[in-house]
Amino acid sequence: MIRLLLALCIFSVFACSNAQELQLGAERVDEYLPALEGKRVALVVNQTSVINNTHLVDTLLSRGVNVVKVMAPEHGFRGEAPDGAKIDDAKDEKTGLPIISIYGRTKKPSPEMLEDVDVLIFDIQDVGVRFYTFISTMHYVMEAAAENGKEVIVLDRPNPNGMYIDGPVKDDDIKGFVAMHPIPIVHGLTVAELAQMINGEGWLENGVQSKLRVIPMKGWDHNSTYSLPIKPSPNLPTDNAIALYPTLGFFEGSVVSVGRGTDFPFEVIGHPDYSKGTFSFTPQPNAGSKYPPMEGKLCLGQYFGDTEAPHELTLKYLLDYHADIKDDTTFFRSYIDLLSGTKDFRKQVEAGWSEEEIKATWQPKLEAYKAMRKKYLLYPDFEE
C-alpha cells in the first residue's frame, strides 16, 4: 500500500511538472503587464493568440489594460481569410475594438495608425519558414514603431520546425514580402529570437532600431517538438502539413498543386501530367483558397497525410516532378526566385543538378548564418 501511494505521488508530481513544463511568453502576463500600465496598447494578433483557452485581447482587457486597437495580418484577426486575400478594416463584435488591416492597402503600420498607440504587442504563432508572412509583418511592425517612437513587445511561442536549419540563404538582390531577411528557408528561430536578430543586424529600413522587449517562454528548447493547438493559417491545418511546408513550399513556384482547394493542403502534391501518380485529387474553391491552382483539373501525385512527416527539407520530390513533367518553359513560375531566395536555384534544377550538388552550394552562407544565429538564441540549441 505504501509503495502504491508513493508511486501515485511520484506520478502526480511528474504529471504536474509536465503540464507546467511549457509556459508561453503570452502566459507570463506578470512579466509584461507592468510595462503596459498607463499605456495605450495595440495588439498584432490573430486566432493563435490564445492563452489558457482565452484570447490575449480578452485577457488583457480583463486585467484593465487600455487596448485601443487590433492590427490584423494575413488571414485576418480570426484567421479565416484565404491566402493572399486583402484584409479590410473592421470592428470586433465582441469587444468593439477597431481592427486595422496591415495586410490590405498597406503591410506596414502608418504614422496615422500609431498616433494613439504607445506600445505594440506582437503575439502570433509562426512555423519557422522564411516565406511564411507573419515574420514579415513583425518586421514592418518593428520598423514602423522605430520610426514613430513606439515600443514593441514580442511574446514568444514555439517554432514547430525549430530543431533544424536548411535551405538557401536569401540573396541581397531578391526582395519581397516572402523574402525580406537574409536567412535560410528553415531558419531555426522563434519569433522573439528573430526579432532580436532583425534589430541586432540592422535590417530595418535605414538601420533604425526598434525599442524592443521580448518575453521568452519557459520550458522550451530547440530540440522540442510542438503540436500546434490552433492551425496557424487555413492551408496549414495539421502538424504534418507544417512539417512538410519547407519542402512542399517550393512547389508554389511551379505548376504543381500542393493541395490548395482540397481538404489536405500541403499534405499532397500533384499535376495532371505526372506519370507516377498514386493518388488523385481535384482542387476546387474553398474557404482557404478562392482560386486554387489547377482548379477543376484531376491531379495525379502523392499523399503524405497517412504517415508522420520528418522534420527535414528535401528536394527529391521537386526534382522528380521537374524531370517527369519536363517542360522548362512552363514548369517554374517567377515566384520560385522569391521562395528560394536566389535566382541560382531555378537554373540548377533546370540544368539537372542533383540534390546533393544543389545543397552543397548553400553551405558557405549557411555556415555564416549559423554562427550569426548563435548570438540571438534565447533557448538551448539543438545538436547537429
Looking up cell 511549457, which residue turns up? 22
What strand order describes the sheet that includes 268-271?
268-271, 299-303, 279-281
The pLDDT tens digits for 99-124 are: 999 998 899 999 999 999 999 999 99
Is pLDDT at 295 greater than 90 in this prediction? Answer: yes
pLDDT reported for residue 316: 98
Average pLDDT estimate for 237-253? 98
pLDDT reported for residue 77: 83
Domains defined along the chain, listed by start: 29-215 (3.40.50.12170), 239-352 (no CATH)
Is pLDDT at 19 greater than 90 in this prediction? Answer: no
Average pLDDT estimate for 279-290? 96
Radius of gyration of the chain (CA): 22
What is the pTM assigned to this prediction?
Answer: 0.92
pLDDT reported for residue 270: 97
> 328 falls in which pLDDT band (50, 70, 90)?
low
Average pLDDT estimate for 251-276? 97
Average pLDDT estimate for 285-314? 95
The pLDDT tens digits for 138-183 are: 999 999 999 999 999 999 999 999 999 999 999 999 999 999 999 9
Is pLDDT at 1 greater than 60 in this prediction? Answer: no
Whole-number average pLDDT of the chain:
92
Is pLDDT at 13 greater than 70 in this prediction? Answer: no
List Cα–Cα distances, 359 to 85, 256, 339, 345, 364, in angstroms. 34, 22, 16, 10, 10
Q: Can you give the length of the chain in residues?
A: 384
Is pLDDT at 48 greater than 60 in this prediction? Answer: yes
Compute the half-sphere exposure of residue 296: CA atoms within 13 Å on the CB side of its CA: 2
pLDDT reported for residue 365: 98
pLDDT reported for residue 142: 98
pLDDT reported for residue 93: 85
Is pLDDT at 302 greater than 80 in this prediction? Answer: yes
